[in-house]
Amino acid sequence: MLQRILKKDMKRRKSVNIILFIFITLASVFLSSSVNNILVVSSAVDYYMDRAAVPEVSLFTAGTDEEQEINDWIENEGPLVRSYESGILVILAEKSITLERGGIETSFNSNGASIYLGTSDADHCKVFDENGKSFSLNKGEIAMTSGVMERNGLEPGDKIRIAEGSVDKEFTVGLSTKDAGFGNDMAGMTRLIVSESDFSMYKLNPEADLLGMYYVDTDGAADFVRELNDQGFLSVMNSVTRSTYAMAYSFDMVMASLLILIGICLILIAMLVLRFTLVFTIEEDYREIGIMKAVGMKGFAIKKLYLIKYLVLVASGSIIGLAASVPASSMMVKGVSKNMIMEDAGANLWVNIICTLLIILLVMLFCYCCTNRLNKVSAIAAIRGGQTGERYSGRGGIRLHRRSRMPVAVFLGINDMLSHVRRYLVMIITFGISFVLITIPLNTINTMKSSEMASKFCLDPDSAVYVKDIEKQGEGSFKSSKDLIEGMERVRSELKDAGYDAELTGIPIYFLQYEQAGKTGKSKIATVQALGPNTGFMTYQEGSAPVLENEIAFSKDIMKENGWEIGDSIEAAINGKEEKFIITGIYSDYTQLGRSARMNPVMDCSNEIMFDYWSIIVDMDTDSSQSEMAEELNKLFPDYGWSDAQEVIDRNVGGIQQSLQEMMIPMTALLCAIIMLITFLMERLFIVREKGEIAMMKSIGYRNGYIRLWQILRMIWAAVISMAAAVPLSLLANHFVLRPIFAIMGAELKIQVIPWQVYGIYPGILMAGIIIAAGIGTINVKKINIRELSNLE
C-alpha cells in the first residue's frame, strides 16, 4: 500500500519533486566536495612541509662573509637546535635569463618574484617532480615549477639561457617541479634547479651574487630568532619560520570555504522549500488525512506516508550528490595540487559519505518536525479541509476602499503578501541568501581592485605607472639604495629623451635591527623607505608619517608584538653605528605580511644591504590610464617591467582574484537557476492553491494576461523586499567573512562595495530570472476555467 501511495504521489507532483531532488543533489555535491577539499588541503600543507623537510627557521644572508661565525653560533649556542644545514643560492636578475622558442629569443617573466639558481641536493626545502618524487638532472638541464613554465609558455625540451657575469650557458628544460619553499606566488621567490656541476660554474664566478641559506630545526623558533637578532650578524637579512611558509598556502582554502558556504546555503534553501511544499501537501491532503484519522490510523502512521516519500527523494538526491562529489573533489584538489604534494585524496571518501549521511539525517529530522502539525488537526477539521468554520481574527492586508487608485494587479499582489506573510517568507529568505552569496566574491574582487588595496602594497594609486627590473643587461641586481637611485635617474633621463617628463620614487627594502632604548631584545624588521619626490602617499592609522631624520613608523603588528607606543625611542644599527629614532606613526599594510617599518626619507641608508626594491612609482602628467601607459611604455622600453597597480597586486596575492573572476559567471548562473527553480515551484503551488480565486476573476471578466501580471508582480515584490533586507546582511558578511580573510595577509582594510554592481547589475540579473520563471510558472492559468469556483472557500 505504501508503495502504491508513494508512486501515485510522485507522479502527481512531478515538478515539485524534481526541484526538491535537484536542491538536495546540489547541496550534497557542494558541501561534501568542499568539506573534503578543506580537510585535504589543510592536512596537505603539513604533509607537504614534512615531506619537503621545511625547517622551523630559514635564514637568508647576503653572501658568505660571516659563514663561519654563524655556523659556530648555531652549532654551539643556538637555543634548542636539533640540527641545521647550510647552503648557497645564486641570485639572478630577470634580464640575465632569455628563452628561445622557434629560433626567437624572448625575455623571462618572473612575475615580480626574486629569482635564485640552486640544486636539488639539500636535505631541507626539498624539490620534487610533478609526481612528488625525487629527481636528478643531467648536465645542461634545468627544472622549474609548473607555474613558472606556464607563465613563460615553456615545455620540456625548450631552451633557456642564463648569462650571469662571465658565465653564459644554455640549458634544456627537463621537467617541472614542486618547490615547498620557493614555489608559491605568495612567497615572492622563484628557484631554478640545475645540476651540481652547472651550479658550480655560477657559484664560483667572482661576479656572482650569492645568497646564503641556513636551514635550522629547533624546538623554539621564536627563541632562536630572538637570540639570533641579539648576535648582530651584519649579513643576516631575514629569517622565515615554517608557519610563514605554510601561510602562503592557506589561500588555497579560500575558494573551498566559499563553496562550503554555498553548500550550506543550498541546504537551508532546500529545507525552506521542503517545509513549504510539505505544509502545502498536507493542507491539500486534509480530507484524506481526516478520513485516515476517522478510521483509526495513528498520527505516526500518517506521518510515515510523508516521511517515506521525502526519505526517497532526499536519499536518492544525496546518493547521486555523493557520486558527483567524488569527481568534484578531485577537480578541486587537482587545482591546489599543482603547488603541493598531497596524500591520496581517495582516502578521504569517508568525509563525503559522512556529509551525505548528515544531510539525510538533518533534512529528515526537519521533515519530521514539520509533520507535527498533523497532531493538532482533528479528524473533523481535516475532513473540512483544515477549517473549523470559525475565524476569530480579521485577515491582514490592505483595504481596497483606501487604495481605490491602485491598479488591481498591484493591489492584489501587495495584499497577498501582507495577508500571508509566512507563505512568502520562504521566497524572501531564499532570494536574500542568493543575493548575499553573490555579493561576497563580487566585493572581494572590487576590494582587490581598489585604491586602498594598492596603498596597502606601498603603491600610490594616483601615480601614472609602475616599473620594476630597471637593471641593465648583465648588470646584476642592485645591492644598495645608491645603485637604485642611480638606476632611477638613468630611467628618468631615458623617459625625458622620449618625451615623458616623469619623476620616479623608489621603495628599497632593508632588514634592519631594532631595539627599544633601555631594554634588551632586538628585532630584525623589514624596513621600507621612499626615495624620491613622492613621499606623502602612505597612510597611517595613528600618528603621522616620519619626516625628520630621527623619526620612524612601525606596522600595527610590530608595535603590538614589542609593546611599543607612539613617542617611544627606538635604536637601530644603520651604516655600522647606532641611530636613535622616535616612533611617530602606526600603519597597517601587507609588507612582509604586516610586519614592517617605514624609515623617514632623509636617513642615509646607502651603506646598508638592500634586500630588494618594490615597484618604482612613476609620476607624470598624462590623460592615459595606468594600463594604457604600461602598454605604451612596454613597447618603447621593453627591457623594463612596466605595469599598473592591479598587476603588482596580482603578482603578490597569487591567482585568487583570477579564480574569483572566473567563478563569477558560473556562480551567478547557478544562483539565478536556483531562484528561478524556486520561483517556478512556488508559482505552480500558488496556482494550485488559488484555482478558486483565479476562476472567480475569470468569471467577472479578467483576462489571462492580467491574472498572470498579478501573479508575477507579487513575486517581484517578494524579490524587492528580500534584496532590501539582504543589504545589511551583505554588510555583515563583509565585516565577519571578508575582512578576516584579507587580514590573514597582515593588514586591515575596508571592503569595497560598488553600488551600481552590488545593488544594480547583479540583483537585476536575479530579478530578470525571477520574472522569467514566474512568467513560465503562470502558463497554467490558461487551463483554469470557471468550474473551479467550487474550490473557492
Amino acid 334: pLDDT: 63
Q: Mean pLDDT: which of 223-227, 494-498, 777-781 is highest?
A: 494-498
Query: Exposed, middle or buried by CB within 10 Å (0-12, 13-18, 19+), for 171?
Result: buried
Amino acid 648: pLDDT: 87
Amino acid 489: pLDDT: 94
Give the mean pLDDT of 253-275: 68
Residues 6 or more apart from 617 whose CB is under 8 A from it? 459, 460, 463, 466, 504, 505, 506, 507, 532, 534, 537
What is the percent of the chain with per-residue pLDDT over 90, rounded to a whole number? 20
For residue 512, pLDDT over 60 is answered with: yes
Give the mean pLDDT of 403-432: 78
Collapse the DSSP code of 541 into the 3-class scheme (helix H, G, I; strand E, B; otherwise coil) and give the result.
Answer: coil
Q: CATH topology for 91-194?
A: Barwin-like endoglucanases (2.40.40)
When comparing pLDDT for 667 and 33, which is higher? 667
Residue type, 185: D
φ, ψ (nearest 5 deg) of residue 192: -100, 135
CA distance 332 to 38: 10
Query: Exposed, middle or buried by CB within 10 Å (0-12, 13-18, 19+), for 7?
Result: exposed
Q: How confident is the model at residue 464 (pLDDT cuts 50, 70, 90)?
A: very high
Give the mean pLDDT of 519-526: 79
Residues 6 or more apart from 702 whose CB is under 8 A from it? 408
Residue type, 526: A
Collapse the DSSP code of 553 into the 3-class scheme (helix H, G, I; strand E, B; otherwise coil) and give the result.
Answer: strand
User: 219-238: b or e for each residue (b if 16 or more CB lie within 10 Å)?
Assistant: eebeebbbbbbebebebbbb
Collapse the DSSP code of 513 into the 3-class scheme (helix H, G, I; strand E, B; otherwise coil) and give the result.
Answer: strand
Q: How confident is the model at residue 288 (pLDDT cuts 50, 70, 90)?
A: confident
Which one, of 465, 472, 464, 474, lies nearest residue 639 by Cα? 472
Task: Please give the model's pTM, rounded to 2 decimal places.
Answer: 0.77
Range in 346-350, 478-482, 727-731 the model is least confident about: 346-350
Amino acid 259: pLDDT: 64
Average pLDDT of the chain is 82
Which one, of 129, 169, 126, 164, lies nearest residue 149 by Cα? 129
Query: Exposed, middle or buried by CB within 10 Å (0-12, 13-18, 19+), for 250?
Result: middle
- Asked whether 596 and 607 are in contact (CB, 8 A), the reply is no
Q: How confident is the model at residue 772 (pLDDT cuts 50, 70, 90)?
A: very high
Which residues sit opposite 642 in a β-bridge?
467
When comparing pLDDT for 424 and 571, which is higher? 571
Beta-carbon count within 10 A of 528 CB: 20
Collapse the DSSP code of 480 into the 3-class scheme (helix H, G, I; strand E, B; otherwise coil) and give the result.
Answer: coil
CA distance 509 to 596: 10
- Asked whether 365 and 270 are in contact (CB, 8 A), the reply is no
Residues 6 or more apart from 294 whose CB is under 8 A from it? 379, 383
Q: How confident is the model at residue 380 (pLDDT cuts 50, 70, 90)?
A: low
CA distance 9 to 231: 80
- Asked whether 371 and 392 are in contact (CB, 8 A), the reply is no
Crossing angle for the helix pair 14-51 and 349-370, to the nearest 10 degrees: 150
Which one, of 425, 455, 429, 445, lies nearest residue 758 by Cα? 445
Amino acid 381: pLDDT: 61
- The overall longest dimension of the chain from CA atoms, in Å, is 102
CA distance 184 to 339: 7
CA distance 356 to 320: 10
CA distance 290 to 286: 6
Q: Which three cell numbers stand for residue 750?
A: 575596508
Crossing angle for the helix pair 704-733 and 421-448, to the nearest 10 degrees: 50
φ, ψ (nearest 5 deg) of residue 193: -105, 130
Q: Which three cell numbers stand for residue 624?
A: 592615459
When comparing pLDDT for 251 and 176, which is higher? 176
CA distance 592 to 244: 10
CA distances from 616 to 114, 191, 295 (A): 15, 24, 86
Give the mean pLDDT of 691-696: 82
Range in 11-25, 356-370, 442-456, 620-634 the model is least confident about: 11-25
Residues 6 or more apart from 323 whose CB is under 8 A from it? none
Give the mean pLDDT of 708-723: 89
Q: How confident is the model at residue 463 (pLDDT cuts 50, 70, 90)?
A: very high
Collapse the DSSP code of 543 into the 3-class scheme (helix H, G, I; strand E, B; otherwise coil) and give the result.
Answer: strand
- Asked whether 390 and 641 are in contact (CB, 8 A), the reply is no
Q: How confident is the model at residue 524 (pLDDT cuts 50, 70, 90)?
A: confident
CA distance 617 to 735: 31
CA distance 50 to 128: 13
With left for phi above 0 and alpha for psi between -120 and 50, is residue 306 left, alpha or beta?
A: alpha
Amino acid 251: pLDDT: 60
CA distance 241 to 595: 13
CA distance 708 to 777: 9
CA distance 683 to 782: 14
CA distance 750 to 764: 25
Place of cell 618574484: 113
Estimate to the nearest angstrom the gap between the alpha carbon of 793 and the chain centroid. 54
Amino acid 307: pLDDT: 79
CATH 2.40.40-classified regions of the chain: 91-194
CA distance 78 to 101: 49
Residue type, 347: A
The tens digit of pLDDT for each residue in 39-92 reads 666 676 778 888 888 899 998 888 888 888 998 998 888 888 898 998 899 988
CA distance 322 to 201: 55
Which residues sit opposite 505 in a β-bridge?
617
What is the percent of the chain with per-residue pLDDT over 70, rounded to a whole number? 84
| Per-residue DSSP letter, 531 | B
Beta-carbon count within 10 A of 640 CB: 19
The tens digit of pLDDT for each residue in 187-229 reads 678 899 999 999 999 888 888 888 899 999 998 888 888 888 8
CA distance 192 to 199: 10
For residue 261, pLDDT over 80 is answered with: no
Q: Work out whether the CA dihedral 233, 235, 238, 242 comes out positive or negative.
A: negative
When comparing pLDDT for 708 and 394, which is higher? 708
Range in 80-89, 282-291, 658-667 the model is least confident about: 282-291
For residue 587, pLDDT over 90 is answered with: yes
Q: Work out whether the CA dihedral 261, 262, 263, 268 comes out positive or negative.
A: positive
